[in-house]
Amino acid sequence: MKKVINSKKAVMIGCGFVGSASVFALMQSGLFTEIVLIDADKNKAEGEAMDISHGIPFASPMKIYAGDYDDVADAAIVVISAGAGQKPGETRLDLVNKNVAIFKSIIPEIAKRNFAGIMLVVANPVDILTQVAIKLSGLPENRVIGSGTVLDSARLRYKLGEHLSVDSRSVHAFIVGEHGDSEVVAWSSANVSGVPLSEMCEMRGHYKYKENTAEIATAVKNSAYEIINKKHATYYGIAMSVKRICEVIMRDEKSILPVSHMIHGVYDIDEVSLSMPAIVGADGIESDIPINLSGEEALKLKESADSLKKIMETIEL
């Protein structure tokens, strides 16, 4: 039976840079009439709620306030950004044990409230934590989504748009696999409004396709590290990604997004959460979308999945 979202309430768990920036983006979106902020530091949640609320006269009427876990019971979407942030020199996977411990305190609290909406995991390492959230929550797999490579794919589209001097919204390209160092750019299926990327590059006067794409892939992969080195955190890009995922769910858009979710049998990958394009709507994940990968890309994707699987095997739940 199809679940219809009647609630227009979102809950943000974790009010650090990412959580607060995401609530600010959601406040402007008009998707919700109620946004609740929960944080271990209640004063922080109250302060952010007050500050963001003062922008409501320039947006749509809604309530934004600090709350507690009882507020998740009737929410359409619960976003989890709580967790230790990535420090300069640290990889997303270095955060595993710290953030799994935090999730062990958060997810059971949500499960106790018979939460019937969509759980969106944003904290890192997002693929591991999405799988942890599925196991700890007991929710159906389709209703637990990680932000995955939605941001990485946006960074890729932005860079390609710049490189080709075209609107990045006309660029169709995905990063798949881990949201992290083993991520894979699906160059084989990348196109600009249906024109294969290699052809588009030549049309725009770029003839060193391999060198250019390798440079862009490296720049995209390292962009988070570069931002963290310069300003100690990344939050605006992910805030827009959270807004986009919430739009797709709340409007039942059935858009295709590279979100982190449980994979079963795609490209020989099974029982691991990572990003592959999927149709997303009011029910969460509707179905996987087959994406064309070269032999080398498929191999790298399998390696990415295997590295995540090994880490999952070390986690006690």
Here the CATH number for the domain that contains residue 208 is: 3.90.110.10
Taking the model in full, what pTM does it have? Answer: 0.94
Whether residue 96 is found in the same domain as residue 128? yes
- What are the φ/ψ torsions at residue 39 (nearest 5 degrees)? -150, 150
- What are the φ/ψ torsions at residue 147 (nearest 5 degrees)? -65, -20
Query: What is the reported pLDDT for 5?
Result: 55
**Residue 228: inside a domain, yes or no?**
yes
What Å distances lie between residue 182 and 61, 80, 154, 274, CA to CA? 43, 23, 17, 11
Annotated binding-site positions for substrate:
86, 92, 124-127, 152-155, 234
Annotated binding-site positions for NAD(+):
14-19, 39, 44, 69, 83-84, 99, 105, 122-124, 147
Separation of alpha carbons 256 and 69, rounded Å? 31
Whether residue 80 is found in the same domain as residue 131? yes
Domain count, the chain: 2
Tell whether the model's pLDDT for residue 292 goes beyond 80. yes
Query: What is the reported pLDDT for 161?
Result: 96
Average pLDDT over residues 133-142: 97
Separation of alpha carbons 128 and 311, rounded Å? 8
CB within 8 A of 234, min separation 6: which ones?
18, 224, 227, 228
Q: In the chain, which ranges are continuous DSSP H helix? A: 17-29, 42-53, 96-112, 126-137, 150-164, 197-203, 209-231, 236-250, 295-313
Whether residue 94 is found in the same domain as residue 197? no
User: Which of 97, 124, 144 is the last residue in one of the domains?
Assistant: 144
Structural domain including 206 reads 148-312
Average pLDDT over residues 48-59: 97
Whether residue 193 is found in the same domain as residue 138? no
Active site residue 179: yes
- The tokens describing 5, both together, are 């979202």
Q: Residue 4: pLDDT band by 50, 70, 90 thresholds? A: very low
Annotated binding-site positions for beta-D-fructose 1,6-bisphosphate:
157, 172
Whether residue 167 is found in the same domain as residue 131? no
Give the mean pLDDT of the chain.
94
* Amino acid letter for position 195: V
Q: Are 272 and 152 in contact (CB under 8 A)?
A: no
Whether residue 139 is found in the same domain as residue 152? no
- What are the φ/ψ torsions at residue 201 (nearest 5 degrees)? -60, -45
* Amino acid letter for position 206: H
Query: What is the reported pLDDT for 84?
Result: 82
Q: Residue 6: pLDDT band by 50, 70, 90 thresholds? A: confident
Average pLDDT over residues 37-60: 97
Range from 91-100, 147-156, 160-169 carrying the lowest mean pLDDT: 91-100
**What would the pLDDT profile of 55-102 be if each residue is shown by its tens digit?**
999 999 999 999 999 999 999 999 999 988 777 777 767 789 899 999
Query: What is the reported pLDDT for 90?
Result: 74
Average pLDDT over residues 21-25: 98
- The tokens describing 232, both together, are 């100690």
Tell whether the model's pLDDT for residue 144 goes beyond 50. yes
Catalytic residue chosen out of the listed positions 54, 163, 179, 232: 179
Query: What is the reported pLDDT for 92?
Result: 65
Separation of alpha carbons 19 and 25, rounded Å? 10
Annotated binding-site positions:
14-19, 39, 44, 69, 83-84, 86, 92, 99, 105, 122-127, 147, 152-155, 157, 172, 234
CB within 8 A of 298, min separation 6: which ones?
267
